[in-house]
Amino acid sequence: MSTLVGWGVLASGAFALLLPGGFQAFLWVLGAGVIGCRVRPGLGVVPAVLPPSLAMSLFGVPWFAIAAWHAEPLATWDLVWPVLLASPILWMLHRARPDPAWFWAGLALGASGAGGWSLFQVVGQDVDRVAGHAPLHAILFGNLALMQGLFCLAGIAWGWHQPKRIVWCSVLALGALLGCLASLLSGTRGGWVVLPGLLAICWMAYAGWLTPRRRGQAVLAAVVLVVAAIAIPQTGVQSRLALGMEHAGRYLSGERSVATSARLELWRGALMLIGDRPLLGWGDAGYSQGMAELAEAGRLDSATGHYWHAHSDVLDAWVRRGALGMLALLAIYLLPLYLFRGGLRARDPGRRALATCGILLPAGFAGFGLSYTFMAYPVGVAAYTGWFCLIWGLYRALPPTPPSRPHRIDVDSRAAKPAPCLPGPPRAGQTGCAP
């Protein structure tokens, strides 16, 4: 059973970005794996599995309730159904306990495949911005490929401690490079803005394990890659950054139009609608109608009607589903930070690598969500739910590590025993002897 589940874990990383509906399909495959897990006495729902599974499942409750209030339950059901598979997936991973190598191999294959496919689109099809199968347009595809690439980067520490460490490190390093390349070729500026913060998380996790020389080499390599990505015109980074800076400058100078900066105009409209209904929100149809009314009144550019979400996860959740829906979104961002907080200091490389991925996941999605509404797409919710379940399930399945030995010996904890009382006159060191 463990091998069968391992193949499912590998496939979920290897093909999620390359097949139509990959994330949703593999969520169902992993969830269906519960059928093959026979229940044994004493193997129930453990405390390690119950809280995160309930938290992920309850994320959809306020969203669905607000949608029912606005008479839109079916549309929201298509969005939140992936979180209901969190419980069976976590239980199945706890039952099967697959080898983490399946997870790392799947990530390396998936990130490498995304990068290779991106190169084919640029060279063979002459596209300006690479994308995946619908609904993975350029922004979704690029940011999800970037997440896979950074997961591979975090996994190199695990690979270094494997018997075939040269093979594992090479495969994971290639996945990290090609996953980041796919992001560059997709033109996702939001991912590039968040990338320094995500790299800082990796640095916090592993800098202490590197010698000063290795740290300098790592910083130099990162600087060279960034400069090359900007300097080489074929990547499209230079033109995309220049265009974004030009539009932002024109917008701030007073040119209020979608042509200059669509996101700023959409954020302004969302904030105006939130001010009118901060608690219950507007719902999907109400949001579109409200934006149209603001445009008709001349308070927004009329072109905002071409966009169906607010291009910000927090603002979109708040304006559509009210304050409770926004808080539910923030809760699932904070949950992995709480669960993996201690893993960044673990002695075991495998535990630390998974914990680093667990911290990168909410940091990345929250960062991407600053300028785009990832959680407005079922694939966004499925990707977040699937990765969280896999990372946490594998993390909890690892054998416990022994506590580390203290580097220093506390003198106070080794206080000398008082010298025994000897007959005759008191001697040096004899104190408190009973008569």
Angle among Cα 142, 55, 146 to the nearest 5 degrees reads 10
pLDDT of residue 421: 47
pLDDT of residue 17: 92
pLDDT of residue 245: 75
Helices (H), 33-134: 50-69, 73-80, 86-96, 100-124
**Exposure b/e, 46-71, CB count within 10 A at least 16 = b:** eebbeebbebbbebbebbbebbeebe
Which of 236, 318, 330 has the alpha carbon at shortest distance from 269?
318
Domain boundaries along the sequence of the chain: 2-38+45-210+225-242+309-397
pLDDT of residue 82: 85
pLDDT values of the chain reduced to their tens digit, one per residue, 435 residues: 678 888 889 998 999 999 988 888 888 777 776 666 654 444 455 666 777 777 777 788 888 888 888 888 887 888 888 888 887 888 888 888 889 999 999 999 999 999 999 999 999 888 889 999 988 999 999 999 999 999 999 999 999 999 999 999 999 999 999 999 999 999 888 888 889 899 999 999 888 877 788 788 778 887 887 777 677 766 666 777 777 777 777 767 766 666 557 788 899 999 999 999 999 999 999 999 999 999 999 888 888 888 899 999 999 999 999 999 999 999 999 999 999 988 988 899 999 999 999 999 999 999 999 989 999 999 999 999 999 999 999 998 888 765 444 333 333 434 444 444 444 454 444 444 444
pLDDT of residue 225: 76
pLDDT of residue 38: 53
Calculate the dihedral angle through the C-alpha atoms of 242, 245, 248, 249, rounding to the nearest 10 degrees: -110
